[in-house]
Structure 1
Amino acid sequence: MTIQSRAAIPVAPRPAAAPPPAVLLIHGLGGTPAEMHAIARAAAAAGHPVVPVRLAGHCGSEADLAASTWRHWLASVEAAHDAAIAAHGRVVVAGLCLGALLALALADRHPATVRGLALYSLPLRYDGWGVPPLTPLLLPLLLATRWGRDHRFVARDPFGVKDPRRRAVLAAGKRRGDSLAAGAAAITGRSLAELDALRRHLLPRLPAITTPALIVHAVEDDIAGPRSPRALAAALGGPNRILWLHDCYHMITLDRQRDRVARETVAFFASLAA
């Protein structure tokens, strides 16, 4: 009996999975890329190229920071975005406080290339437990004056950090004037006015921002209370959810829940490709 062999059926090769997008990391006002280290470490472990952004005017002198505007800061983010797109094709963005506002501004300008946003401790109002009650009303009036814009707002305890050990390290760095490691020891009203100008620029644009967003906020945020994330979630035009954190203050990327912030961020970015 002759056995006839059956021709092998060709199998098309599976398309290679797209590599994870680059992750842009944007620190806060008067801050430093070191604030985003936990996110950078987790993102790199998950295979993401990591692009830390150092904002214009930051990590130097107080005069450098006072001379920079929100448009300078956004230009820093734009340059990092353009380089990441050229090298990796896709980006997702994580930002803390001012960095979260800048992440939204980037998504507004580049909806086709910014695939996801992780927005940490975003301040639409200064109404956290560590802020004097009349600040939301009086601060805009103060910043409209020359004295207010030149006034130095000195960083003070608890520095947005609940963990006493990390708070002590941060305080020591600020006392040494190590702005690269610990951020600025003080910022002027001019910088706060620039942050507010960026916020006012963004508010009417939020409904047009459809990029998926993870909004992460501490219940005990000492700078921006719960109304900020709720208002942001309601205003954004794209899918979003709020992750509430306990046992930490404003600087959630440094505080006791930093590892959870990192894990949830990486999981959220992975879900966008699912």
Structure 2
Amino acid sequence: RGQLEEVILASPHRTKPLCPVYHLCGGCQLQHIAYEKQLEMKKGIVENALDRIGNQKIKALPTIGMKDPWRYRNKGYFQINQEKGRVQLGFYKAGSYDFVPANGCVLFSLQINRLVGYLEDQLSLQKVAVYDHKTGKGNLRNILIRESKSAAEIMIVFFTKEDNLGFDQNVLNDLVRTFPQVVSIYQNINRSPKAVLLGKDFRLLKGKSDLEDALGPFKFKISPQSFFQVNAVQAEILNEKVLEYANLSGEETVIDSYCGTATISIY
């Protein structure tokens, strides 16, 4: 895989990434390209895959973009780092385990970014022992934050190696007072030395067992393990297009054999 060394003559489609850590973080790959050009490129990727793999020379329809392609993401798995006693939430650099602090990520809402900063402050004050994958020492492994855009609710999951959280229960009490949108807090215990995310043991620590989110007229209950489209705005548009092109009469039987929370089949 090639690495950019120097830009001699920039493409007219090249643009300045909105995210300050875009070139380090592994989360996004196309922010340096103007959005309209991104949509065009994605259309080409679909056509190329159909031709190369399926031997089907098909012209894809134009990609349907977003009016505002920022702050749409409703779920984030945050890696955790500890630097000179300071707890940081972020992501791994592309293709590595090098940590990149990502408070201020432009794919998440301002509310989630404020919550990330708050958690960093409180966990640092608590002197939380962050898990080290190399040594197997420490306790707090990851943090999951899910946000319901329709109900304005937030769920947090703390992933730990041990049964104990490793910090005072009052941290959770203060958290929900400061962020009343946080309506569900879980702990997931993962004792595996391997870099697997989920353990089998989920414990509800505070609040509701599920979030509620909506796609169109339908409401869904979302648990910590649930698969739900991370971009609910585009998922709704996708579902409407499926209905439009399927042109169902109501007499058909449709099987959704790998459905997650069954958003498409219910829609």
More strand by share: 2
| TM-score calculated relative to the size of structure 2 | 0.29
